Structure formats: C-alpha cells, structure tokens
Structure 1
Amino acid sequence: MPLRMDGCVSIRGEDRMKPERQTTSKQKEQENAAIYARRWELDLLGRVTYASQVGSLFWCRSPRYGECVLKIGKAPEETWTEYYALSADREGIFCRVYEADCSNGALLLERISPGTPLRQEPDPCRRMDRYCTLISSLHRPCRHPERFPTYTQWIRRAARSIERIKEYGELSHHMRMARARYLGLRRRYQRNLLLHGDLHHDNILLGESGYRLIDPKGVIGDPIFEIGRFLINEPYSPSADPTGEDLRLVQGISRRLAIPAVHVLEVFYVELCMTTCWFVEDGQTQQYEERLKHIDFLRSLLDGQSNWS
C-alpha cells in the first residue's frame, strides 16, 4: 500500500473506521509516540502515515541520529522479524535501525532521503531494470534462519486459512493449484536465503547513493520468490491492455534475470493467489473480484504454457 506523506489518514474500503473510533485511535497513537519521544529523546516533526499493514509512522529528529522515522503499532512478532531482517543487513542496502522495543511494536529507523519510491519512476523499462539490478545482488545466507518464517510456511498457512472460509471456494481451488505449482518450483529452486518478503515499489526508496529498502517482512526461501511482489504491484497505464502488460512483465523479468518465463509466470500466479487469501482473511475484499479475474487470466496463461520458453 503506498504511503501518504502529507500527514493524512489513508484508509480505504472496509478498513475505514467510524469517526469516534478514529479519534480514539489517533489519541492513543499520539500518546504512544510521545512515550518514545521522551524515551529516545526525539523531536516529533509530524505523522507520516497510518495503515494497518505498516503501523504508525512519524518523522522525527534525534540529537544522536539526525533525521529518522518512529514506527509504532505493529504486532510484536512482526516487529521482531522486521528488526532481525534489518539487523542482518551488512551491505547498507536496508535502512538502519537505531533503537527498538520489539515487544511493544516500536522501532526507530533511519530516514531515507530524498526517499522517492521506485513507483515514481515513469519509464517501465527503467523501473524493471533498476529492480532487477537491485534484486540480483541482494540476497545472502542467513546466520539465524530460525528467527524467520519460511515461504513454504506462508503458502501452507494461506491454503489452510482460505479452506476454512466456505464462500471463497473458487479462490481456495486456485490456492491448491498455486501450492502445487509452488512445490514444483521449490524442487528446482532450493536455496534458503533471507528474503525481504515484501519487495514492491513503495518499499524501494531512492537514497543519496542509490536505492535503499524499507519495511522487510523477513522470510526464508529461494530468491525467485522475491519477484512476486514486484509483479503484482507493477502499475499499469490506464490505457494499457492488462493482457499485454502481464506478458511484458513476465518476459521482461525472465530476460533480465535469466529465469525461464514459465517459472516467472508461476511465481506471479502463486504470489497473487497467496496475497489474495491474506486480503480475504483480513476482511479486505473490496478488490476481490478484480483480483480473481487476474488470477483466472494467469491460470489460463499457465494452461497454455507450451507457448512459453
């Protein structure tokens, strides 16, 4: 979900809260921010965003760290995983973590400047080039894999969760097919490296010396499964033919990363199925029909995969 940088609440559809509850939530959020401002000696400069998947973000200034971002409100388990993923970076690609209170869902992070997200690169070929250059040298072995979930666990949990929601039988069927496709890919792509886990356009920000990464989920798997978030989040031109755009995406990634196009397509299908299950589980169903049509289309491409090289 793109971040709002204007200090406004960005909540859509079924995530929108009633005014009374918004006020209560905002007051609590401000109280929590004030606690960490005192603890970590911060000047709060303004609220960046509120989104359930990200937490609450505040621009702030520290006499010790300079410009930084206070992130609060995520579940402790997710905060610990993000902290471990950021701390595992030895190349300076991820934003730095300065302070942490993971048990209470709080992190003090480096502010990436100017912070322009990859999504704002208007040329789709340049966007893909920069993404592929970044991802081709990103992944390293993990010293403590036990701290992170695996991509296989993500797939298994998504399949089980959607099976329990009877009114989404079509999606459950797709998820079973996606799990089978995933297991076939896993037999070919067997590396167990630390993945970002949510490497879409808005988590790739332009820094002073190149692109930097924020908001990792942290998951163990083969790097081929990292490309899924880029595929499902790539913006289309309003006048573009979605069919042609999907083909352009798959073939472009295949060519740049030297991965067979059918395997890129399978990752695309698997990732879209899995994340749609997550959205349904979280009650975010406003785009369900649109996503299901996209899933159906990718499945039709896979059914004709003999045409892919």
Structure 2
Amino acid sequence: MMNQEALAWVIRTRDPQFDDWDGFTLWLERDPAHAAAYDALMADDADLEAIIPPDPVGVPVAANDVEPGRRPWRWVGGGVIAAALVAAISVGMVNRSDIYTVATRPGETRTIALGDGTTIDLNGGTRLRLDHKDARFAALDSGEAAFTVRHDAANPFRVTVGDVVFEDAGTVFNIVHAGGATRIGVSEGKVIYNPQAEAIALPAGRALTDDTQGLRVMDIAPAAVASWRQGNLVYANAPVTQVSEDIARSLGITVRFTPQAGASRFTGTIHLDRNAARFFAGAAPLMGLSAVRQGDGWLLKEGPLKEGNEPQS
C-alpha cells in the first residue's frame, strides 16, 4: 500500500500543473518510510517511463502541459495502471539496493566514514540514508547528524531533508530534523539551502530554521555547531521545547515539560551526563526550572525544586 501511495505521488508531482505541495509534505512527514519509498521510485525515473503506458486510454493531454521531450504521468484507474504499479514497484525494489539506511537508537551515537573522505556523526534517534554508488549523497529522514565534508566543486555533497536540499561548499555543518522542523548550523565553509530555488547561502557562523513559521536565518557561534559531539549542548535564546528534544535525543530518555516550562527560553551551555538524575540536578536550575522523575521519563517544571526533592535516579 505504501509503495502504491509513493508511486501515486511520483506521478502527481511530475505533472506540470501539480499544486498540492502541502498535501505531499504532510504525506512525507507522516512516516519516514514514505520519503524512502518516494525517493527510490523517483531514482528509477527511466524505468518508470518505460513501464507506464505512453497514452492511457481516455486521458486527453493538452500539448502545453508537457515539457519538450517529456510525457506527463497521470494517476488513472483501470487494470493497465494497476499492472504498471506492480511492475514499477518491483523495478524500484531491485534497482535501489544501492541505497542503505543507517540508524541509531536514542542515546546512541555513531560515526560513518564515506569513501570520498567525508565523515558523518549521527546523534541518537537518527535515521540516515546513504548510497553505496554515490558517496556524495545523504538523506536525513529524522534525528541529528553532523557532516564534515571533503569539498569537491565539480561534485558537491548534497543532503536531502524531505523536499529540501542542502549543498556543501567545503563545509562542516550540523542538521536536525525533528517534529516537522529542520535546523542547520554551519561552523566551517558554506552551505547552500535549496540551490535550485531559494539558494540561501549559509557561511560559517550562520544558521537556518525551516518550520511552520517559515524560514529564518540567524547567527550561531561556530563552537555551538554539533557541540553534542563534545558532550555539550549550547544555546542562544532557544525554546525549552527544542532543548528538551535535544536532551532526549542525546541521552536516550523521555523528557516532558509543563506548558509554562515549554514556553520559556534558555541561553547557556548544558553538559551532558549519562546519569539522568545527576544531569537534571545541574541542567534544570540552569534553565530556571526543576525536574522530577515521572513514569518512564522526566518532567521539566517551572520554578526551582524545594529542598529535599532533588531528582532521584
């Protein structure tokens, strides 16, 4: 069913008159596997062209709907398209064996060395796709990853996050993709956000957030980029909701917060500690909050803890 949906979106998004980008984005965000299925079928573009019938019966096509040399794909009913679906999915499954996934559990980190000299550090709770045949490609489905890229102007390294592309220009950068939002910070070189569209240049010391409020570009201390690799989380006026997500990802614990605590913001450096009780005993007061054990996780609350109620492991 998922592959059928993916092929339906491939067909629709290739139509020059397609305009349901909001619906497409919601479908991608509903399950990380959706992006994988869509990307696999898109990568098999040539095979799909050969599989889908050139002129589906009963579907008139206006001449000005098609780019020169291209044939539009339509999502139409009937046995012909049903057969094409099965064939196309089979082609995608066979030919995309070069795409592989690397994943970490919450609290787990991992370093990957690619054949081109690039290294990728994965933080906890991260899912990343790579290509055995193309060391200049990565797709971050969820979580956080830091990239130290060997620059090649003739063959730039590209990271896709949903329908967004980040292209390096000799770079060290960190990307977080969680909760429907994407954040990138650059500590060396330069990254181009969507080079074929907005083409926003992000040099060292700049960051970008892409969420429901739109695109925002801001300054960031280069030392704060991927600081989790050194065991620290560094923030400048960050919402506690974001801090909580980062803590959960890095330590592999569940972090909740009251509405008032979640609405607060934090500037400073938090040292990561695998001992959760010890970590929150130090981190919560830094944020002007308190932390208590709650079920299988921790709850951040407004105000300091009363004496004798320190976090317990």
When the two structures are superposed, what TM-score results if normalisation uses the length of structure 2?
Answer: 0.24
Greater percentage in helix: 1
When the two structures are superposed, what TM-score results if normalisation uses the length of structure 1?
Answer: 0.24
In terms of Rg, which structure is larger?
2
Greater percentage in strand: 2
Where relative contact order (Cα < 8 A, 6+ residues apart) is larger, the structure is 1
